[in-house]
Amino acid sequence: MSTTFKDDVAVPPGLSADRIVDIDIYSPPGREKDFYAAWKTLQDNSPPIVWTSRNEGHWIALSGEVLAAVQGDPERFSNRIIVIPRSVGEKHALIPTTIDPPEHRPYRRLLNDGLSLSKIRHLHTAIASVADELIGGFVGFGRCDFTAEFARLFPIRIFMSLVALPMADADRLCFLAECMTRPNPPLPFEDAKQAFYAFLAPVVAERRGGSGEDIISAIVNADINGRKLSDEEALSLCTQLLIAGVDTVVNVLAFIMLELARDPALQERLAGLTRSGLLAATNELFRRFGFVTIARTVREDMEFHGVHLKAGDLVCVPTQVHGLDERINACPLSIDLDRRGARHSAFGSGPHMCPGQELARAEVAIMLERWFAAIPRFHVGADADLRNLAGIVPQIARLTLEWDVLPMPSHDGQGAIEELA
């Protein structure tokens, strides 16, 4: 007789008790206090892959080895459904994230070209100017609501310039993105997706045949296998682009800054680095703060790390556990800027590795450079709300920071500010 857990989903037959966990991946025990410690505790006390009947039933990869194998092997694990629970994931169907190679490659190439390392390097001065402008707005007060006054503005201003959309639309797009990446959203997943399509339809139509240099214009006017993208393809690809652009770096910035606010020695070390040194340091920061919990779909029945997977099963891939696996990275909860060869999956692995990773690294490195130029030392504010909120991408409810007031150094680059305005 089948055993059942939450959601009345049958546990796979013959599964040993140590392979079964009663875990909601969007709210593991201890998540509110520390999202990463919660996953680390689950990892330390579980086999490399386990089953939960929560969220309609699925496997969870908990070791770095298993996670990398699942995420990086499209021959055995498909991207067809990447959102849990299945009933929601089946509605996702955005490209290129839910199609597999080789079909996904032409679509993926469009994103790679728009977010290439060479193009991101040309943005460095503009990124620095946006950081300076935002920091300059509050540095003289000796405190800020980092979440509201910086994290929710800085990467989104940069991204909205890349897609040539007005900042006036940012709040609406962030709301829709959160409805597609948070449990129990105020707007159902499918409704949020359709709202994205409704927003983008006139944008796509307007930019067809135009000469714009923004990423959306490049997508809708590109040749793909000798043809232009259909309206449906363009809407799907651009929706995926917007979700990723407004809901990832926004949240990881707060986790990084909270850790720094608690560690004066780490602040001092980072403050002494050049921009190139900070760019190198981002690998360790993203290793420590992996931030996306997604899934893969099993292609065919197989024996895999001691369990039997059936075709169609979903395997949760919490990317944060790869960097936190001490069998791969020693003392994983510590940020070690001297660590060499840190391995992680913050940006994924294999053919679906995040095309925006160079932009994310540049934003974090340049933000730290400009922050330390203005605010060499800082600590957590007394009114911070440090609850970790659930979702495909985790959040800190509200991070406030405080510091001794110092004169704001002069800087140039006014033209770059205007470029991104």
pLDDT of residue 412: 54
CA–CA–CA angle 4, 293, 358 (5° rounding): 165
Residue with tokens 């503009």: 126
For the stretch 68-77, pLDDT in tens is: 999 999 999 9
Please answer whether residues 296 and 77 qualify as being in contact, where contact means their C-beta atoms are separated by less than 8 angstroms: yes
Query: Residue type for 149, please?
Result: E
Is the C-alpha dihedral spanning 322, 148, 217, 279 positive or negative?
A: negative
pLDDT of residue 215: 93
Q: Confirm whether 5 is domain-assigned.
A: no
Question: By C-alpha distance, which of 119, 350, 109 is closest to 229?
Answer: 109
Q: Confirm whether 141 is domain-assigned.
A: yes
Please answer whether residues 392 and 294 qualify as being in contact, where contact means their C-beta atoms are separated by less than 8 angstroms: yes
Distance, CA of 201 to CA of 190 (rounded, Å)? 16
CB-hemisphere CA count at 13 Å for 354?
23
For the stretch 292-341, pLDDT in tens is: 999 999 999 999 999 999 999 999 999 999 999 999 999 999 999 999 88
Three-state DSSP state, 340: coil
Please answer whether residues 60 and 20 qualify as being in contact, where contact means their C-beta atoms are separated by less than 8 angstroms: no
- Residue-number span of the structural domain to which 276 is assigned: 12-420
pLDDT of residue 419: 46
- CATH number reported for the structural domain that contains residue 328 in this entry: 1.10.630.10
Q: Confirm whether 3 is domain-assigned.
A: no
Distance, CA of 362 to CA of 127 (rounded, Å)? 8
pLDDT of residue 410: 56
Does residue 196 register a pLDDT over 90? yes
pLDDT of residue 416: 46
Return the number of other C-beta atoms located less than 10 Å from residue 54's C-beta: 21
Distance, CA of 21 to CA of 34 (rounded, Å)? 19
Please answer whether residues 120 and 358 qualify as being in contact, where contact means their C-beta atoms are separated by less than 8 angstroms: yes
CA–CA–CA angle 4, 318, 356 (5° rounding): 145
Q: Confirm whether 411 is domain-assigned.
A: yes
Residues 6+ apart with CB under 8 A from 308: 12, 14, 301, 302
User: What would the two tokens of residue 149 be?
Assistant: 């006054």
DSSP 247: S
- What's the whole-model pTM score? 0.90
Three-state DSSP state, 401: strand
Residues 6+ apart with CB under 8 A from 191: 179
Rounded to a whole number of angstroms, the distance between the first and last alpha carbons of the chain is 63
Three-state DSSP state, 73: coil
User: To 10 degrees, the CA torsion angle through 148, 213, 238, 240?
Assistant: -60
Q: Name the pLDDT band for 377 (thresholds 50, 70, 90).
A: very high
Q: Confirm whether 353 is domain-assigned.
A: yes
Q: Confirm whether 1 is domain-assigned.
A: no
Does residue 199 register a pLDDT over 90? yes
Please answer whether residues 320 and 305 qualify as being in contact, where contact means their C-beta atoms are separated by less than 8 angstroms: no
The overall longest dimension of the chain from CA atoms, in Å, is: 72
For the stretch 258-273, pLDDT in tens is: 999 999 999 999 999 9
Q: Confirm whether 7 is domain-assigned.
A: no
Q: Confirm whether 55 is domain-assigned.
A: yes
Residue 43 phi, psi dihedral angles, 5° rounding: -60, -45
Q: How many domains does one find in the chain?
A: 1
Please answer whether residues 76 and 318 qualify as being in contact, where contact means their C-beta atoms are separated by less than 8 angstroms: no
Please answer whether residues 83 and 192 qualify as being in contact, where contact means their C-beta atoms are separated by less than 8 angstroms: no
Distance, CA of 396 to CA of 394 (rounded, Å)? 7
Region 95-111: mean pLDDT is: 90
Please answer whether residues 408 and 385 qualify as being in contact, where contact means their C-beta atoms are separated by less than 8 angstroms: no
Q: Name the pLDDT band for 406 (thresholds 50, 70, 90).
A: low
Distance, CA of 107 to CA of 200 (rounded, Å)? 18
Distance, CA of 359 to CA of 255 (rounded, Å)? 18
User: What would the two tokens of residue 211 be?
Assistant: 């000469």
Is the C-alpha dihedral spanning 241, 244, 246, 250 positive or negative?
A: negative
Region 127-151: mean pLDDT is: 97
Does residue 183 register a pLDDT over 80? no
Lowest mean pLDDT among 43-52, 293-302, 356-365, 399-408: 399-408
Query: Residue type for 190, please?
Result: E
